[in-house]
Amino acid sequence: MSYYCSKCKEEITKEEYEYSKKKFNLALCRTHQKNNNSQSNGLSKRESHYKEGMIKGRIAETLIEELFLTLGYNVFRYGMENTVPGIIKLLKGVKTEVADNIRRMPDFVIQHPEKKDVYFIEIKFRKKEKFDIHDKSLINYPYENAYFIVVSKKHIKCITYKELKAGKVISPTSKNYLGSRSEFELDKNVIIDFCDFAVKFFKEV
């Protein structure tokens, strides 16, 4: 009796047939067994990398949200997934200026508890603590009055889009700490506590 791969119709051995039927419930040659394995082992490397980055970003967002709430700020989630639920799927594959602007909506609007000033806040996690105007997320960035808070494994730093355009950067040696932004009037001891949280959350990254 002869056995054949149900995908490519190539002849296979009895052993290959029996193994494949047991594991995949299909008669497959070795090549298509490997393909089936790669499809059944969960996410692809690209998908896994994307999901991991998204999770890190959301942890960083939650960290900063809680920091400002602790300091008495009004905090409003402003990103596209919060403003227009379901829009991520709607814009998948759409490459227009409007779609790009929607994707780049800042994560939060925060309001100073006393002065009532409001600010656009964009949160970034950067493992290597490096962020400058050449970051791919800033290509054609439309919100020129936004503040970028960069969370790393050790520090929480802040820089404005205008400062980035002027050539300033966030790096491991830069001193642009969030607690130094005079417009926010933040308690540095609270920021230190939240930096400790960042160390705990991202120490294995």
Specify the pLDDT at position 148: 97
Task: Report how far Cα 17 is from the mean position of its chain's Cα atoms.
Answer: 43
* Nearest residue to 31 (alpha-carbon basis) of 64, 3, 6: 6
To which residue do tokens 């991991």 refer? 52
Query: Both tokens of residue 110?
Result: 């925060």
Instruction: Using DSSP, state whether 158 is helix, strand or coil.
Output: strand
Query: Both tokens of residue 51?
Result: 């999901």
Average pLDDT (170-183) is 95
Average pLDDT (68-82) is 88
pTM, two decimal places:
0.72
Query: Both tokens of residue 18?
Result: 């029996």
Kindly tell me the burial class for residue 29, based on how many C-beta atoms sit within 10 Å of its own C-beta (0-12, 13-18, 19 or more). buried
Distance between CA atoms of residues 156 and 179, nearest Å: 8
* From 101-105, 151-155, 159-163, 178-182, the region with the lowest mean pLDDT: 101-105
pLDDT surpassing 70 at residue 28 = yes
Structural domains of the chain in order of their starting residue, each with its CATH number = 3-40 (no CATH), 48-202 (3.40.1350.10)
pLDDT surpassing 80 at residue 82 = no
Length of the chain counted residue by residue: 205
Query: Both tokens of residue 40?
Result: 């059944």
